[in-house]
Every structure is written in structure tokens, then in C-alpha cells.
């Protein structure tokens, strides 16, 4: 288009493919960057390339990391006997933010999805079973989608042969949530998983 | 934080400063980039640096461009006699998209704002007056903010001494807009600028 330098159009096009960014936001970002100092833009460009060059997957848990093993696997204070199995590294970060889990993680790197051609062999499932020796409890913390439920079912069936407890995250009304606005499926799960109020 | 590689945190931090991007979107983008091919990420990084290295300002109209003069100033089909004065290059792009202006532009590069220490000398105002010779009409297409109105007033007072018509963009109800939801100031302007319906 007349009036728009090609380099701007290119940045716009590349950024509009980012998750959650449309064409207009992409243009605003292109202008924002154009008005930043050259060294700032170079720092951003370098940080992007570093994402690809410095990040690997931990050989133990498959979580993203800059060192081997990752800082969770390498932390002697984390409990080896409890292992939380998740779909991807985003889930590890979310759980770490809750500061309520002191065990270790295992990142599958996806979910079983026959429609997308993803089978158990494409996930870090063998690696999971190789590290079960010290483990007393496996928490399967996988989203309740079709693929998630398939994966959970597959794992729990295999784990039955091991002398350990298999658990999943509780489903229920989120903290701060409102009964009135909670969907039926969540309400059903919340009722099903109701807990006794202790007599004091 | 434990569990998040530092390079991810850095990209998150840099991206969350972009206009319209919060911390969570920034993280989603960092993960998106981490999962792209290395060459794609390098292409993005290069495009960012190109923004700084390839873009200059047109010596005639001050619009951003990759060549000198810009493709609007260098286009012999554009009408030299009508000049549209705008705050910045984003405005040129918006007007070009409307495909309804065939004259040329002049980009001020900002607005007069005493509070921010921006005076007329900080804007491309001298350059504007140096190119008025072939001009028969100046359209001042500046947003109606305090700074915008100050700048419009300043320019129109200086332009009075020249043998040319000075106009501004019409204010009114936007196309597709609804009377009921239009703010009072816009309605007042729309009434003020009402046009006679021709008798056929």
C-alpha cells in the first residue's frame, strides 16, 4: 500500500500472527518499536533469538530450562516422592506460581490425540515410567478435555501396576467464583467432590 | 521465579511494555516464539532491527519512508496544490487507507504541548511553510485534543497570511454510528455542521 514502508508492513504481518494480536495492535507495536532507541530494539531482537538458542528441555522432567537439569529437578529441597504430571511447561509455571506444590514435575509435551496423529510414543511417557522408583504419589494435573481425559485414562491404567497412589486435581467452584454463575458441569463436579465440614 | 527460565522472563518483560500487551499475553507470545522454528524467530528479530535501520523520514513531508523522497511525495499523480497536515505517520496511513485523498501530506511529528516542553520549533512547521508555494488548500487534519486544538489554532493563524484556503476535517456522527450512542460533544458538532439536503 502507498504510504506504508514495506518494513512496517512486514513487522505488522509477523506480529499479527502472534497469539492475541490483531492487525491494528501489530501496527501500533511496529510504530512503538520504530520510535524506540536502536539499542533497545536490538536488545529485544537478541532476546527473541536467545529464546531459541538458550532454552532446552530438562533431560529429567522435560520442562523448559536454560541449565541441565532444570532448577526444579536440581533442587535437593524438592520432594522426590511426589510427581505432578502436566501437559506442558506453561502448566508447570502456573503451578509454581501457586506456591503450593513442593514435589517435582513431569512434562508430557502434549496430549494423546489420535485425530492429530499424536500417540503415547510422541509424548515423554517412557521417561515418566523410568523415574517412578522413588515416587509414592503421581498427581495427574491435566486439563479435562477429550485429549486430556484420554491421556489421564491411559496413564492411570499403566500406573495401576505400580505401588503408588494416583491422584488428580480437585474440580469445583474456583476461589472467588459465584455459585450462580458456575456452569453445570463444574457444579456437578463440586457436588460430587463435596467435603465434610469437620465437627469442632 | 523458580521454574521459569530467565530468557522467558526477559522476553515477557520486554513484550509487556508494548502497547496493548499485558504480562499474560507477553508470556503466551514468549511460548509461541519458543515453539517456532529458529529461522522464523531470526526473521522476526531481523525485521525489528530493519525497522530502525531502513526507515528514515522523507525530507519533504516528514513521513516515514524507506526511500527518498517517500512514495507519496515522489508520485507525480498526486496533487501538489492540496496539502494535508497531520500529527504523525499513523495518520497518513489511516487517511491513505480511506483512498479518498489524492493530494500530499505534511507530517508535523507531534503537537504543540507546552506542558511537555514541545514548542513550534520542535515540529516540522518551518518545513511546512517552505513548501506552500504550489499549495491552494491546506487541510489541517489534527485530532481535537487540547494540544491538537492549540496546534490547529497556531497553524491557522500563521496560514492566514498566505493566499490559500485553510480547512479542517468534518466532525460528526461516524458512518455506521448510532445517534443514541453518540456523545454530546460529537452530536453538538454534527448539528453545528449540518448540511442541506439538496432539492431534486
pLDDT in tens, A90-147: 899 988 888 889 999 999 999 999 999 999 999 999 999 999 999 999 999 998 889 9
Mutate which: B5, B15, B64, vs A, most A CBs within 10 A:
B5
Facing residue for B29 by CB, picked from A19, A33, A42 = A19
Low-confidence winner among A2-11, A29-38, B145-154, B170-179 (lowest mean pLDDT): B170-179
Residue A158 and residue A192 share a domain = yes
Q: Is B72 on the interface with A (CB under 8 A)?
A: yes
- 3-class state of residue A103 by DSSP: strand
Mean of the pLDDT values across residues B62-71?
A: 94
A198 has a pLDDT exceeding 90: no
Query: How would you write chain B as a 3-class SS string?
Result: CCCCCHHHHHHHHHHCCCCCCCHHHHHHHHHHHHCCCHHHHHHHHHHHHHHHHHCEECCCCCCEECCCCCCCCCCCCCCCCEEEEECCHHHHHHHHHCCCCCCEEEECCCCCEHHHCECHHHCCHHHHHHCCCCCCEEEECCCCCHHHHHHHHHHHHHHCCCCCEEEECCCCCCCCCCHHHCCHHHHHHHHHCCCCCCCC
Are residue A43 and residue A110 in the same domain, yes or no? no
Of A1, A8, A89, the CB nearest to B96: A1
Show residues of chain B in contact with A65, CB under 8 Å: 5
Task: Count the neighbouring beta carbons within 10 Å of the beta carbon of residue B132.
Answer: 15
Structural domain includes residue A134: yes
Contact of B195 with chain A, judged by CB distance below 8 Å, is answered with: no
Q: Which of B10, B21, B51 sits opposite A33 (nearest CB)?
A: B51
Lowest-confidence region among A68-72, A161-165, A177-181, B113-117: A177-181
Q: State whether A139 and A50 are in the same domain.
A: no
CA-CA distance, A61 to A130, in Å (whole number)?
11
Q: Does one domain contain both A155 and A73?
A: yes
A137, part of any domain: yes
Domain annotation covers residue A1: no
**Residue among B30, B41, B51, B60 with most chain A CBs within 10 A, to mutate:** B51
Do residue A151 and residue A182 come from a single domain?
yes
Q: Which residue of B has its CA nearest to A94?
A: B3
Task: Name the closest residue on chain B to residue A20, using Cα atoms.
Answer: B25
Identify the CATH number of the domain in which residue A98 sits. Answer: 3.40.1360.10
Cα separation of B122 and B2, whole Å?
48
**In this complex, which of A2, A50, A96 lies closest to B96 when CB atoms are compared?**
A2
Q: Is residue B1 part of a domain?
A: no
Asked whether the beta carbons of residue A21 and residue B21 sit closer than 8 angstroms, the reply is yes
User: Which of B1, B44, B47 faces A7 most closely, judged by CB atoms?
Assistant: B47
Domain around B18: 6-54
Determine contact: A19 vs chain B, CB below 8 A.
yes
Is A115 exposed, middle or buried, given 0-12, 13-18 or 19+ CB atoms closer than 10 A? exposed
Residue B59 lies in a domain: no
Residue of chain A minimizing CA distance to B63: A3
Question: Are B135 and B162 part of one and the same domain?
Answer: yes
Same domain, B192 and B111: yes
Q: Which residues of A touch B57 (CB under 8 A)?
A: none
CB pair distance less than 8 Å for A2 and B92: no
Write down the pLDDT at residue A1.
63
**CATH number (domain holding residue A15):** 1.10.8.420
Distance from CA of B25 to the nearest CA of A (A): 7
Q: Indicate if the pLDDT at residue B200 is higher than 70.
A: no
Closest CA to B3 of A80, A85, A67: A67
B68 within 8 A of B58, measured Cβ to Cβ: yes
Determine what percent of chain B is predicted with pLDDT higher than 90: 74
> Are B46 and B68 part of one and the same domain?
no
User: Mean pLDDT in chain A?
Assistant: 91
- pLDDT for res B1: 63
Residue A162 lies in a domain: yes
Range B45-69 average pLDDT: 94
**Is residue B88 assigned to a domain?**
yes
| Alpha carbons B71 and B58: distance in angstroms, whole number | 9
Looking at the structure, tell me whether residues B41 and B106 fall in a common domain: no
Under the banding of pLDDT at 50, 70 and 90, the label for residue B120 is very high
- The confidence score (pLDDT) of residue A200 equals 65
- Counted domains in chain A: 2
Compare A181 and A154 and report the one with higher pLDDT: A154
Residues A51, B33: C-beta atoms closer than 8 Å: yes
Which of A19, A44, A66 is nearest residue B32 as measured by Cβ atoms?
A: A19
H helices, E strands: number in chain A: 7, 6
Least confident of B80-84, B165-169, B183-187: B183-187
Closest to B93 (Cα-Cα) out of B122, B70, B60, B126: B70
All residues of chain B having their beta carbon less than 8 Å from the beta carbon of residue A63 are 3
User: Is B148 part of any domain?
Assistant: yes
Residue of A nearest to B53 (CA): A38
Question: Shortest Cα distance from B95 to chain A (angstroms)?
Answer: 10
| Domain match, A83 and A145 both | yes
Q: Are residues B38 and B71 in the same domain?
A: no
Do A92 and A152 reside in the same domain of the chain?
Answer: yes
| Distance in Å, alpha carbon of A61 to nearest chain B alpha carbon | 11
Amino acid at each position: 500500500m502507498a504510504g506504508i514502508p514495506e518494513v512496517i508492513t512486514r513487522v505488522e504481518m509477523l506480529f499479527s500472527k502472534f497469539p492475541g494480536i490483531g492487525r491494528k495492535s501489530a501496527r501500533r507495536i511496529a510504530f512503538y518499536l520504530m520510535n524506540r532507541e536502536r539499542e533497545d530494539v536490538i536488545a529485544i531482537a537478541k532476546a527473541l533469538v536467545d529464546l531459541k538458542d538458550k532454552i532446552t528441555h530438562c533431560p529429567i522432567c522435560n520442562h523448559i530450562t536454560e541449565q541441565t537439569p532444570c532448577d526444579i529437578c536440581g533442587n535437593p529441597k524438592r520432594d522426590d516422592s511426589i510427581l505432578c504430571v502436566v501437559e506442558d511447561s506453561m502448566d508447570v509455571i502456573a503451578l509454581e506460581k501457586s506456591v503450593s506444590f513442593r514435589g517435582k514435575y513431569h512434562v508430557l509435551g502434549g496430549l494423546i490425540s489420535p485425530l492429530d496423529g499424536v500417540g503415547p510414543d510422541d509424548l515423554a511417557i517412557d521417561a515418566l515410567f523410568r523415574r517412578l522408583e522413588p515416587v509414592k504419589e503421581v498427581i495427574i494435573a491435566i486439563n479435562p478435555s477429550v485429549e486430556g481425559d484420554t491421556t489421564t485414562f491411559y496413564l492411570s491404567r499403566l500406573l495401576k501396576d505400580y505401588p503408588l497412589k494416583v491422584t488428580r486435581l480437585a474440580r469445583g467452584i474456583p476461589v472467588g467464583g459465584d455459585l450462580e454463575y458456575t456452569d453445570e458441569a463444574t457444579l456437578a463436579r463440586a457436588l460430587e467432590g463435596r467435603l465434610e465440614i469437620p465437627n469442632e
